[in-house]
């Protein structure tokens, strides 16, 4: 009998032979967290949880738990619209459109805003969701060397049509930031469209967590910003922040926005209240900054690059990286190995994340265990 799964089995076996096979594991309970994107601890914050539940309980009797359909059919409601208006003010944009995830937001924008006659030039370390969805547009796609504006200009020589330049304000693996002000100047000079993925600066940068673009005062020079809420905000979902015309365009031409089931109202309530909590509790960001400074002093001995709340530690080969992570996990430290193709080339590394809820004893313990393994 023909085994129709054999091609899948063969692909998995080849991955396993390279030491790259991955599998699902449950979130480590009662472990010291140096792996999650819950930078401000809001996903585990009991106070915030009660605030969100209280807000849900205050809703009218006709409040719907589910979405019931896409926004253009039956899924639109006043909670989503009010949340978008609030987010527009928070992120200092003309308008916003809610999406259920950052991937959906990137799919909506990059899959349908650039046209086949246009060009998309993105940083080589841009998130996979952007690389993947950019190809759906049919536009010519080019990558430029990470944070290298000279190479950005060089790659533009092959571009045609409208040019969309795409960067992350902070990169999810390397933890460094884009030279945004320099890139803004280049885009303004050439009349290019700049798009900034603010996934790892939402909730962290800016006075109230509005992101790095607002912190630098360049938000009006950016055509679109993608803000996601599954990291520092501690919940899930995303918005595309831009003009009213951009929002209306996405509602009319972006397949995910047209046909995907709408965000449920409870998710919108969680998003707004999470950002309000960050706004009203500046001590969370202060605690994170204190921990970052403590980490930097410890990391100096490992010759790590100067970064922020995400620090990559290059190990080299996948087998050694997996072994080190396994030992750390045995010692009650939650950490994951970052392997190709998530990392560039054949490099495997530890992606170490810092949080407001880490304390000095946890930090010291982590480094004492790490030294034994390196």
Residues 273 and 286 in one domain: no
* 276 and 286 both lie in a single domain: no
Q: Do 178 and 211 lie in a common domain?
A: yes
Whether 306 is covered by a domain: the verdict is: yes
> CA angle 257-258-263, nearest 5°?
50
Residue 341 within any structural domain of the chain: yes
pLDDT band at 126 (very low <50, low <70, confident <90, very high): very high
48 phi, psi to nearest 5 deg: -65, -40
Q: Is residue 216 part of a domain?
A: yes
Among 280, 304, 336, identify where a domain stops: 280
pLDDT band at 110 (very low <50, low <70, confident <90, very high): very high
| Domain, as residue range, for 230 | 65-280
CATH of the domain at 216: 3.40.640.10
Residues 204 and 228 in one domain: yes
**269 and 141 within one domain:** yes
Name residues whose C-beta falls within 8 Å of residue 217's C-beta, 6 or more positions apart in sequence. none
Whole-model pTM: value is 0.92
- The CATH number given to whatever domain includes residue 305 is 3.90.1150.10
pLDDT per residue over 127-184, tens digit each? 999 999 999 999 999 999 999 999 999 999 999 999 999 999 999 988 999 999 999 9
Residue 50 falls inside a structural domain: no
Residues 80, 199 share a domain: yes
In this structure, of 121-125, 149-153, 367-371, the range with the lowest mean pLDDT score is 367-371
Alpha helices in the chain (DSSP H): 6-17, 46-57, 78-90, 102-112, 128-136, 149-156, 180-190, 212-216, 244-253, 255-259, 265-280, 283-299, 318-330, 360-373
Residue at 86 is within a domain: yes
Residues 329 and 354 in one domain: yes
CB contact at 8 A, 170 and 304: no
Which of 244, 260, 280 terminates a domain? The answer is 280
Render pLDDT for 80-89 as a digit per residue (tens, 0 to 9).
999 999 999 9
End residue of a domain, out of 216, 246, 280 = 280
In a domain, 228, yes or no: yes
């Amino acid at each position: 009998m023909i085994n129709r799964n054999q091609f899948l089995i063969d692909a998995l076996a080849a991955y396993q032979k390279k030491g790259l096979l991955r599998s699902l594991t449950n979130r480590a309970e009662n472990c010291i967290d140096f792996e999650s994107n819950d930078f401000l601890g809001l996903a585990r914050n009991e106070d915030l949880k009660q605030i969100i539940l209280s807000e849900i309980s205050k809703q009218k009797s006709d409040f719907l738990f589910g979405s019931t359909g896409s926004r253009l059919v039956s899924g639109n409601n006043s909670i989503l619209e009010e949340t978008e208006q609030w987010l527009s003010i928070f992120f200092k944009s003309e308008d916003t459109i809610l999406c259920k995830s950052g991937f959906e937001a990137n799919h909506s924008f990059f899959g349908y805003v650039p046209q086949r006659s246009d060009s998309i030039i993105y940083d080589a370390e841009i998130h996979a969701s952007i690389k993947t969805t950019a190809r759906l547009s049919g536009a010519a796609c080019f990558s430029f060397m990470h944070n290298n504006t000279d190479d950005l200009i060089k790659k533009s020589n092959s571009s045609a049509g409208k040019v969309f330049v795409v960067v992350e304000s902070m990169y999810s693996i390397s933890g460094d930031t884009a030279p945004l002000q320099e890139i803004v100047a280049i885009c303004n000079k050439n009349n290019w469209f700049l798009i900034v993925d603010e996934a790892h600066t939402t909730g962290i940068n800016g006075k109230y967590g509005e992101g790095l673009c607002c912190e630098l005062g360049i938000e009006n020079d950016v055509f679109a910003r993608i803000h996601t809420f599954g990291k520092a905000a501690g919940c899930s979902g995303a918005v595309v922040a831009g003009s009213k015309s951009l929002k209306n365009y996405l509602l009319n031409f972006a397949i995910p926005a047209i046909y995907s089931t709408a965000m449920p109202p409870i998710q919108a309530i969680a998003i707004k209240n999470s950002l309000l909590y960050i706004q009203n509790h500046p001590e969370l960001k202060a605690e994170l900054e204190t921990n970052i400074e403590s980490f930097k002093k410890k990391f100096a001995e490992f010759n790590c690059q100067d970064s922020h709340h995400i620090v990559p530690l290059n190990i080299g080969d996948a087998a050694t990286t997996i072994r080190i992570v396994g030992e750390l996990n045995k010692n009650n430290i939650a950490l994951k190995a970052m392997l190709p193709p998530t990392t560039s080339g054949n490099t495997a590394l530890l992606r170490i994340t810092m949080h407001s809820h880490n304390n000095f004893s946890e930090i010291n313990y982590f480094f004492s265990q790490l030294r034994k393994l390196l």
